[in-house]
Amino acid sequence: MSVEYIDHMGNDDSVVRAARVSMDKSPELYTTEENARLIAYLARHGHEIPFAHTAITLRVRAPVAVRAQAFKHKVGFVESEISRRYVASTPGFFVPEFRAKAENVKQGSGELLDDKKQEQLRETYTAFMQGAQVIYHSFLDMGVAPEQARFLLPQGMMTEWVWTGSLLAFARFYRLRSDAHAQKEIQDLAHEVGAIIADLFPVSWKALTEVHYENQ
């Protein structure tokens, strides 16, 4: 999996400016420390709208199953995904480290399986995925429409999308998907996203992702 920075709009001052306009003030009238305290206050008390006056665009490469989880986050996001209706190249596939089924829960996973099982599972998994690639292209070669041939592709195949969202939207995604109860692969994706955005909006990102709302 990978996350690539494409573009962004705004910075921490954009959040402050959106908040202080209600009092007809601007960030330049206040010290850096005062503006940082305001950002922390907004996040802590759930005053989220100023954080939505921003945008971050990323290009993400991840398995179809991980993309499905990411796309559940709709508010504040738009996405454009590579289309197998138009692209006939061979899609890559993701090879995970295999984990045991979690005990006493209906979902989730436990510890990594031992090395011997990892090797056996990787061999079987890789053979299956490579077989799916071969069959996919055989259908295309027989004249099957790409929009139907893609039905053969498993959940572990890689896809790519351009993902644009507000700082607020990405922070919500991060808080939910970096949680220990989330699937490990989406946790990894969330941390990659967070590492990029933390450099773009350091004060706001810290405030939003470490917040405990006082009005809840």
pLDDT the model gives residue 198 = 98
Per-residue pLDDT tens for 179-213? 999 999 999 999 999 999 999 999 999 999 987 55
In the predicted model, residues of the chain with pLDDT beneath 50 are 215-216
| Rounded alpha-carbon distances, angstroms, from residue 205 to 15, 39, 175 | 11, 10, 11
pLDDT the model gives residue 26 = 80
82 phi, psi to nearest 5 deg: -55, 140
- Does 2-82+157-209 carry CATH code 3.30.1360.170? yes
| In the chain, domain spans | 2-82+157-209, 99-152
pLDDT the model gives residue 25 = 81
**CA angle (208, 210, 211) in 5-degree steps:** 65
Structural contact between residues 90 and 133, judged by C-beta atoms closer than 8 angstroms: yes
pTM: 0.91
Instruction: Check if 150 is active-site.
Output: no
